[in-house]
Structure 1
Amino acid sequence: MLIKVPKTTALLEDQLIRLRPHLHKDSVIIAAGMIKHLQKSAFQCIEKIIGPLTTSLAKKKARLIFASLDEALEQPVSPYPTRYDETEIGLTLSNHANVFSREHLDLGARFFLTHFSEIPGVQRVVDLACGNGVLGIKYQQQAPDAQVEFIDESYMAVASTQDNYRSVFPDNDSASFSAVDGLSQTDSGSVDLILCNPPFHQQHVIGEQMALEMFRDSKRCLAQGGELWVVANRHLPYPAKLKQMFGNCRTVGTNKKFAVLRMVKR
C-alpha cells in the first residue's frame, strides 16, 4: 500500500484506521513525504495504528517510511468526525478529519458572522469553499426561503456540511452539496449571493491564486446586481484586486486580523 503522507496528522490517522482492517501479516505500507513536512506525530501515528517502521535514506529531500502490521495492536476506534459546541452561534459542528479548523470555529468565520445582519435576503446563494458549512447554515437560518448550495473541493468538507445542515434543518431538502472545483460547474449569471471564506493555502503551498480564481468565477456566476461577500486576512491584497475585477469593493468591517468585503456585479 502506497501513501503520500498528508499535511495533517488527523487525516493520516483517519486513512490508517480505515486501511487497517484490510491488512494482513504480509502487508507492507510504504509512505512518502518531503523531509521538512514529515512531523514526529506522523511516525508515532503509523506505529500506533499499523506497527513497527523503518525509514529510507533521504533522496532529493524526500524519504520513504516502511511499516508492517503488528497484529497484536488493537483495531482503533476512529475519533472522526469530531464535534464541538459553538454556544456563541448556537450550533454544534461536526468535522471530518481533513476539514479546516476541525476543533473550533475559525476566527475569520466568527468575525464574518458578526456582519451577517447586513447581508441582503436573496433566493440563490452559494457558500463557496464551505468547509463545515457554517456560513451557509447561518445564512439559511436568517433567510429560510433561500436555496443554498454548498461547494468545496474536499469530499470531507462536503460530508461535514451535510451532517451539520441536516442536524439544523432535518426537514429542509432545498439545499444542495457539491464536491467540485470551485464554481466550475455553476452556470453564468445564475447566483444572487456568494459567501466566501477563501483558503490561501493548499496542502503546504501558500498563495493567492486559488482565492483569485474563486473571485473571477464568482463574478461570472453572479447575476446583475448579485453580491460577493468575502472574509479574508487583512494583510492579503484582496481589496485592490477585487476592485479591479468588479469595479467596486466596500470594506464592511475590520478587526486586527480580518476584513469583510462586499462586491456588487454591475
Structure 2
Amino acid sequence: MMISELTLHHRTLHLNRFPKKDKETLQAWDAGDEYIINYMEELNLSAPKNILILNDNFGALSCWFNQNHNVTMMSDSFISHQATRTNIASNQCNEIRILNTMDEIPNKVDVVLIQLPKNNRHLIWQLNQLRKALKSEVPVIAVNKARDIHTSTLKLFEKHLGQTQTSLAWKKHRLIFSQANSSTPIEYRDYTGWNVPEHDIYLDNLPNVYSGESLDIGARFMLEHLPVETKIKHVIDLGCGNGVLAIKMARLNPGIKLTCVDESFMAIASAKRNLAQNLTEEHDIDLIANNCLDDLNIKNVDVILCNPPFHQQQTITDHIAWQMFCDAKQILKPGGQLLVIGNRHLGYDGKLSRLFGKRNVSVVASNKKFVILQASK
C-alpha cells in the first residue's frame, strides 16, 4: 500500500504523485529527498534563506522548505510543476515561485538543492547556468542514488561548476557538495543540431529533449509509415519531442492543422524552432506543454501520433501510455486514427484492444524491435 505521509523532525506532509491515481503504489518522494531534508535540518539555518530547488520531482522539497524559507523551484517537467502546485495547496504551504529550466536563475540565491536529472546534457546545462549566476560562496547540494553517482558525474560538477566532494551513502543515496568557483566558466551551446538526411530534416534539440543527440530508432521507423490522406485536417503529435514526426506529417499532408504536446518545456521550445525552420508552407500550429491531453478543449481530431514514454522520472510505468490512449479516444472523431509505436514487448496491442475493441486495432508495420499499431475510433 502506498504511503502518502512524509513524517520527519516532528512534522508531517501529505504528498501525492501527479497525476493522482486510484490504487497508487508509488510514493511522491524518495530517500534522496529525506537525505537532503535531514542534512539541511541539522544545519539549523537562520531563516529565511533564498533556496533554489532544481528538478523537484513531485514537490516534496518545495513543500518542506517553504515553511521557513523563500523557495524557487525550477524544472523542465510540466508534471513536476503541477505536482508541486497541487502538494503545496493540499498542505496549505506558502506560495513559491515556479520556473522552467530555460528561465534565468534568480538574482538572490543562498542555497541550491538539486535532484539530479536523468539526462547528463540537462545536468551540464543546469551546472553552467548556476556557474554563471551564483556567487562562489553559495553551497550547491545535489542528491541521487549512490549507484548513479559515478566518477564521471563528479567530474561534470568540477568541470562545469567548481570544487566538489561527496557524502557517505545513506539509504542507498549520496549527496554531492559543490560550489560555483571553477576558474574559467565553460560556454555551453543551448542547442545540439543534426540532420536526418533521408528526410531532408534538420533538428535542433535543447538539452532535455528525448533522444536529443540523434534520431531515436522508434521515430525513424515511424517516419516511414505516416498516413497520407486528403481527408486529414487535424493531427496531434502526442509526446512530440523535437517535432520530427509533426514535420514529416505536415510535409506529407499540406495544409493540416498541427497540435504538438509534450510535458517537457524544452521539447516544446525545440519543436517550435524545428517546425519553423523545416516547413516552407504556412500551417496552423499549436504547441502545448501539458500532461497528455488533460483539459484541452479539442474535439474531432483525425489522426493522433503517439510514441509513449514508459517511465516517469526514474520509475518504469505504463500509466502514461494508458492515459495517452484514453485521452486520444476521447478527442478523436468517429473513424479517426491513433497511431502508436512501441517496443514489441510492451504489449500495447492488448491495451488498445481493451479500449477501442479488438477488431478496430491493426498492425501497420513491425520489425524485430518495434511495432506500429493503428486504433480506429
Same fold (TM over 0.5): yes
Superposition TM-score tier, normalisation by shorter sequence: over 0.9
Partner of 1:261: 373
Larger radius of gyration: 2
Displacement over 4 Å in runs of 4+? 117-121
Point out the more displaced range, 230-239 or 188-197: 188-197
Q: What is the DSSP-based 3-state SS (H/G/I as helix, E as strand, rest coil) of the residue aligned with 2:142?
A: strand
**How far did residue 241 of structure 1 move?**
1.4
**How far did residue 40 of structure 1 move?**
3.1
Question: Which of 177, 183, 202 is the equivalent residue of 1:66?
Answer: 177
Q: What is the DSSP-based 3-state SS (H/G/I as helix, E as strand, rest coil) of the residue aligned with 2:198?
A: coil
**How far did residue 70 of structure 1 move?**
2.2
Q: TM-score, normalising length from structure 1?
A: 0.94
Partner of 1:23: 134
Q: Give the root-mean-square deviation of aligned CA atoms.
A: 1.6
Whole-angstrom CA distance in 1 between matches of 2:238 and 2:189: 27
Whole-angstrom CA distance in 2 between matches of 1:142 and 1:227: 16
Contact 2:365–2:373 (8 Å) recurs in 1:
yes
Whole-angstrom CA distance in 2 between matches of 1:219 and 1:26: 53
Q: Structure 2 regions of 5+ residues with no counterpart?
A: 1-111
**How far did residue 213 of structure 1 move?**
1.0
1:148-170 deviation digits (Å, cap 9, x = unpaired):
00000000111110110010136
**How far did residue 36 of structure 1 move?**
2.2
Q: TM-score, normalising length from structure 2?
A: 0.67
Contact 1:121–1:143 (8 Å) recurs in 2:
no
Q: Which amino acid aligns with 2:365?
A: G
Q: What is the DSSP-based 3-state SS (H/G/I as helix, E as strand, rest coil) of the residue aligned with 1:212?
A: helix
**How far did residue 189 of structure 1 move?**
3.4
Whole-angstrom CA distance in 2 between matches of 1:208 and 1:5: 23
Whole-angstrom CA distance in 2 between matches of 1:39 and 1:166: 39
Q: What is the DSSP-based 3-state SS (H/G/I as helix, E as strand, rest coil) of the residue aligned with 2:221?
A: helix
**How far did residue 120 of structure 1 move?**
6.5
Whole-angstrom CA distance in 2 between matches of 1:170 and 1:252: 29
**How far did residue 203 of structure 1 move?**
2.6
**How far did residue 244 of structure 1 move?**
1.1
- State the number of aligned residues: 264
Q: What is the DSSP-based 3-state SS (H/G/I as helix, E as strand, rest coil) of the residue aligned with 1:116?
A: coil
Whole-angstrom CA distance in 2 between matches of 1:51 and 1:204: 27
Partner of 2:159: 48
- Name the % identity: 39
Contact 1:46–1:67 (8 Å) recurs in 2:
yes
- Structure with the greater relative contact order (CA < 8 A, sep ≥ 6): 1 or 2? 1
Partner of 1:149: 259
Whole-angstrom CA distance in 2 between matches of 1:120 and 1:77: 47
Partner of 2:224: 114
Question: Which of 149, 155, 158 is the equivalent residue of 2:268?
Answer: 158
Whole-angstrom CA distance in 2 between matches of 1:222 and 1:11: 34
Q: What is the DSSP-based 3-state SS (H/G/I as helix, E as strand, rest coil) of the residue aligned with 1:79?
A: coil
Whole-angstrom CA distance in 2 between matches of 1:239 and 1:120: 27
Within the alignment, does 1:251 sit opposite 2:358 as a pair? no
1:72-94 deviation digits (Å, cap 9, x = unpaired):
2x121113310011101110111
Whole-angstrom CA distance in 2 between matches of 1:243 and 1:102: 32
Q: Structure 1 regions of 5+ residues with no counterpart?
A: none
Contact 1:188–1:220 (8 Å) recurs in 2:
no
Relative to structure 1, the CA distance from residue 112 to residue 80 in structure 2 (aligned partners, 3 Å threshold; closer, same or farther) is: same
Relative to structure 1, the CA distance from residue 40 to residue 249 in structure 2 (aligned partners, 3 Å threshold; closer, same or farther) is: farther
